[in-house]
A = this chain, B = another copy of it.
Amino acid sequence: MTPYKLLLLPGDGIGPEVMGQVEKVIGFLAQAGIATFETEHDLVGGSAIDAHGVPLTDAALARADAADAVLLGAVGGPKWADVAYEIRPEAGLLRLRKDLGLFANLRPAICYPALADASALKRELVEGLDIMIVRELTGGVYFGEPKEITTLPDGTKRAVDTQVYTTGEIERIAHVAFDLARKRSGRVASAEKHNVMKSGVLWKEVVTRVHAEYTDVALEHVLADNCAMQLVRRPKQYDVLVTDNLFGDVLSDVAAMLTGSLGMLPSASLGAVDAKGSRKALYEPVHGSAPDIAGRDFANPLAMIGSLAMALRYSFGLGEAANLLDGAITDALANGARTRDIAAEGTQALGTAGMGDAVVAAL
């Protein structure tokens, strides 16, 4: 069989460390005859700025475009705080999302039973939590024009960002949400601010219309501010939660934090399915580059390894291998493997590499 083409973009901060553990797992999968990957490496974010002066080179983008899937660690850090806006580390990630057309960002917020006590919320509120946030990723205020700072005649400044959504953009993300809900609990909540934003009015209208094609799925509309509140109050009321780019950024972080295991949550960013049935895809942890703990063997690699599992499932149709890998993560945890972020106070924790080994051992 032809090997799957994977581009690895470790990025900044703890990115390279957690990516190292994914490479360990990839090595094992090949050895065990489960799946063979042809891996390439490139730079993104601050590391690309340091090497090339830009956070993503055209060559790296072309490689990402040619790969079957991209795995990304994390970008950014204080080192690049003074870089110009156009070439800041995050611009590399945003360019990947936009230019590869990765409009559908899937962010599962799962509370692992072994970790329910690590949540800030009371155990009974999060035990068994399993939310899938579907965030629109290539539209909204992230990319709308004008996006600029101008200087006024009196020398003061005026900054503008523009949130734009079209019917088509909303339709396709709504379909992703409803299709997912069919395979899950059959419930979708859609969050916007139609009481303040015209894009919220259109969002609600289009989601309602698309819903007519999914009579077997229940749809609830919720205002984004209330949704943030409800996520804290009674998170298990949600199953699939679809929302725009900016609200998705905030709400998915709230949902992730509820689980008490931020270091464990993967994400998938998917493009449209093409004529050949394949789609562009990028997989990355929900957590950031965590510069404060970078290089210290403290980082939890499970979100990155879980992102590989999502790639197996969504990009390569290797559902069984994905289950195997997810199972190995669960087993490693059940065997007591803990990195610092999820270890109970006063207990001994594994390092990044130690956790990677624990997963491979469980495989």
Q: Which residues of A contact B (CB under 8 A)?
A: 76, 85, 88, 90, 94, 120-122, 125, 141-142, 144, 147-149, 152, 156-168, 193, 195-199, 201-203, 224-226, 228-229, 232-234, 246-247, 249-251, 253-254, 256-258, 262, 288
Q: Which residues of B contact A163 (CB under 8 A)?
A: 141, 160-163
Partner of A141, one of B149, B197, B254, B258: B197
CB atoms of B160 and A144 under 8 A apart: yes
8 shortest interchain CB distances as A-B pairs? A156-B167, A159-B202, A159-B199, A229-B257, A161-B163, A225-B253, A90-B195, A229-B253
CB atoms of B253 and A202 under 8 A apart: no
Partner of A120, one of B76, B94, B233: B233
Bound CA–CA A202/B251 (angstroms): 24
Bound CA–CA A54/B52 (angstroms): 58
CB atoms of A166 and B142 under 8 A apart: no
Q: Which residues of B contact A197 (CB under 8 A)?
A: 141, 147, 159, 161
CB atoms of B229 and A232 under 8 A apart: no
In the complex where A142-B196, A163-B162, A195-B88 touch, is A120 in contact with B157 (Cβ < 8 A)? no
CB atoms of A201 and B85 under 8 A apart: yes
Q: Which residues of B contact A233 (CB under 8 A)?
A: 120, 257
Bound CA–CA A193/B88 (angstroms): 13
How many whole Å from A88's CB to the nearest CB in chain B? 7
CB atoms of A166 and B157 under 8 A apart: yes
Instruction: Tell me the number of copies of this protein.
Output: 2
CB atoms of A232 and B254 under 8 A apart: yes
Bound CA–CA A45/B63 (angstroms): 55
Bound CA–CA A224/B163 (angstroms): 17
CB atoms of A162 and B160 under 8 A apart: yes
CB atoms of B262 and A229 under 8 A apart: yes
Q: Which residues of B contact A147 (CB under 8 A)?
A: 197-198
Chain B's closest residue to A171 (CB) is: B156
Bound CA–CA A275/B312 (angstroms): 67
Partner of A121, one of B120, B224, B234: B120
CB atoms of A156 and B166 under 8 A apart: yes
Partner of A160, one of B76, B122, B195, B199: B199
How many whole Å from A105's CB to the nearest CB in chain B? 13
Most buried by B among A76, A121, A161, A253: A161
CB atoms of A232 and B257 under 8 A apart: yes
Chain B's closest residue to A230 (CB) is: B257
Q: Which residues of B contact A234 (CB under 8 A)?
A: 120
CB atoms of B202 and A225 under 8 A apart: no
